Amino acid sequence: MREVFHQSLEEIQDRLVEISELVTVAIGKATKAFGTSDVTLAEEVIDDDEIIDEKALALDELAIEVLARQQPVARDLRIVVSALRMSASLERMGDIAEHIAQLTRMRFPERAIPKGLKSTFTKMGEHDVKIAQQLTELLRTEDLTLIDTIRNADDALDDLHISVFEKVLSDSWKGEAAATVDATLASRYHERFADHAVSVARKVAYLSTGDWTAPTEGIEIIVAEGFAPDNT
């Protein structure tokens, strides 16, 4: 029974890695499409999100089956429950990549990135892609040192998010209302993507250390998931 459970856990882990890889591809394409006004690439991201949704649903079903058949307790139970939560976060990250692609498509053939914010959004996109890559690696290897990289990229994204609002609210901002709306939504999407990644990374840390409810000592992870620097 223990051996069967171990195999189930490996299967769950493999599937989380697979979904995280798909999310990495999605955010890579979405931020590239956003930066280059590539509507074909944007359409790909929008079409492919369904695959992420399906895989997340299938993983949830597997996790529920494992709970029913193998009746795990203690740490094993928490691993399976946290897999359900990680699946939900990854699925949401896919949705956000889709939202960025939708912004691109909505503005096409115009540029979705407002003037004066191109380098900011390029950096935000790079951080999101890096975060997704590191998260995939973290899920695959459980190498907790990767969490620092994810956290640092998330901090950088928060700073960039704030800088978008400083720019938009400054006297030098000449954007039309449409540009202001786009900047606001795009910045929020980029920042939320990273928040979800941090949330998944935190769960990996909890599982590795066995400490479910308190932040991992020495690994200072932002507690206020969903905290948006723009609206405090």
Interacting residues with a copy of itself (CB under 8 A): 57, 61, 64, 67-68, 71, 73-74, 77-78, 81, 84-85, 88, 92, 95, 99, 102-103, 106, 165, 168-169, 173, 175, 177-178, 180-181, 184-185, 188, 213, 226, 228, 230-232
Smallest gap from residue 123 Cβ to a copy of itself (A): 20
Which of 86, 92, 83, 53 is CA-nearest to residue 65? 83
Q: Output 4 or 64, the one with its CB closest to a copy of itself.
A: 64
Q: Output 137 or 230, the one with its CB closest to a copy of itself.
A: 230
Largest distance between two CA atoms of the chain: 67
Which of 182, 132, 124, 189 is CA-nearest to residue 156? 124
**Do you know the residue count of the chain?**
232
Smallest gap from residue 30 Cβ to a copy of itself (A): 12
Provide the angle, in degrees to the nearest 10, between the axes of the packed helices 177-209 and 74-107: 160
* CB 195, CB 188: distance < 8 Å: no
Smallest gap from residue 79 Cβ to a copy of itself (A): 11
Helix (H) or strand (E) holding 93: helix 74-107
Which residue type does 197 have?
A
Smallest gap from residue 220 Cβ to a copy of itself (A): 19
Q: Output 71 or 141, the one with its CB closest to a copy of itself.
A: 71
Q: Output 24 or 87, the one with its CB closest to a copy of itself.
A: 87
Smallest gap from residue 230 Cβ to a copy of itself (A): 7
Smallest gap from residue 29 Cβ to a copy of itself (A): 17
Give, rounded to a whole angstrom, the gap between the first and last alpha carbons of the chain: 50
Q: Output 102 or 136, the one with its CB closest to a copy of itself.
A: 102
Compute, in degrees rounded to 10, the torsion defined by CA atoms 202, 208, 210, 213.
0
Count of Cβ atoms closer than 10 Å to residue 226 Cβ: 8
Provide the angle, in degrees to the nearest 10, between the axes of the packed helices 39-70 and 74-107: 160
Q: Output 130 or 203, the one with its CB closest to a copy of itself.
A: 203
